[in-house]
Structure 1
Amino acid sequence: MIPPTFTLQEAADELGVHYMTAYRYVRLGQLDASKVSGVWQVTDQAIADFRNGAAAGPVARGKRAPWAARLEDRLVEGDAQGAWSVIEAAMASGADVRSVYLDLLSPAMVQIGARWASGEFDIAVEHQATGIVMRIIGRLGPRCIRRGRSLGNVVLGAPAGESHGLPTAMLGDLLRLHGWEVTDLGPNTPTASFLHAVRHGTEVKAVGLSVTHPVHLIDAEACCRAIKKEQPDVFVVVGGSGVSGVSVSDLGADAQATSADQLHELLRAR
């Protein structure tokens, strides 16, 4: 049987709240809803779930609000305003910028990627979500600049053919929070452009290459070896799911990092 659905006004009436209050619940990801032909629709199960959550209360539940799941829901729906509302609500509840990146944005996008890979929805949904997250990062970026003396410059990017720019965008801001200056070259960057950035950058301490799929390892290796040949003192680090299980020496890199914190520690240790 198809579960009963309600318009948002009907859902508001069921919950005994004003329409705009129910709309705010949707925007914050607290009330599950979907747009069908431009109209918000809410299932009776979503209303029951909302009531159960409200009845339990944050103390009784003993858990942090599921911000990542709420954000994921808004991103899948293509709701940019709602996604930003979730971010604002999380920060108002005490989440700092670093937590937003690590505990909301990253888990939400990883889960969306997994759902696309399983065939749950079209790649268009993942691309739309990525676009929204990139705009969110653009709004959060200025909050990642740390005052004081710079630790040096790190050049980030993805090698030729690698189309994913979100990992380095997030990594760059997390490194900035540690006090590094970051030059993010983004996705699909030719080796010559990495070399240009290193030659003309100020106090370039390291180059970080992000690889999300093994098919791009050949280009990543060529890039690593070209940088080390021309600039042997520059620390070359690789990361991303595409380098999992691959020997760093086979790629011509100096090290592998799985997180911004690990990369920061590697750089500080040099």
Structure 2
Amino acid sequence: MKKIAIALLVFIAVGNLTAQDYKHSLQGIKKVKIASESGVIAKTHSQNEVLIKGEGRETPEKAKGLKAVYSGGSDNTGIGIYVQKEGETLIIRNLKGMHSETLEIYLPKEINITTESSNLGSLSFSGFSSEIEARTNVGGITLKNVTGPIVAKTATGEINIVFDKVSQSSPISIVSATGAIDVSLPSNTPANLELKTSMGEIYTDFDIKFPVEHKNMKVISGKRAINTQINNGGVDITLRSSTGNIYLRKK
């Protein structure tokens, strides 16, 4: 009997949630700006539109005939998200608080993206061959199979980035105030490197001629910035962590 009652409660709870998707054309759009207090997951798809996945909760009985309002703006999507086109930029603002579900978004892989999680939330992107700017307050940043240019910055959190290849068009900057940085580059990447950690160590398996080894990776004192080149130099890549190790790996 108890199991039946629990199952009934779960059924009722699930029944109060209605899956909702929101789509918006990206015709004439060159950049998407996303602001969210919770986390964001961005993936690629083949359509020239943004697809936002969400769960819409049924309106409580007492709220019938009313609409939810948020301090960050008006919900013009029906899923607690504000979307507005401004010139060649599409603004996406998550109006719900930092304890809401992670925002899941699908975009074309070539679209430029700026994303900020202002409170507690991590950012995750995969498969983009475009410019990405990702900032968090408390939360990690994970970028997989990207090309850049990349600007990634967090006050508290780890940054993990795997490059498919590295765009030479603009500098790359990866900064964590408190947290490790782990970056994987194709072994033939031409780059000018600036590496610095104030309270940590720097490890790499790139051949930048430092003699001390640790598990097949060279360890470098992090007290000063290290400026060096790989593959005869190329795009500027900066990796900085105030408190945390830096790992620069060959992919």
TM, length-normalised to structure 2: 0.32
Structure-1-length-normalised TM-score: 0.30
Pick the structure with more strand per residue: 2
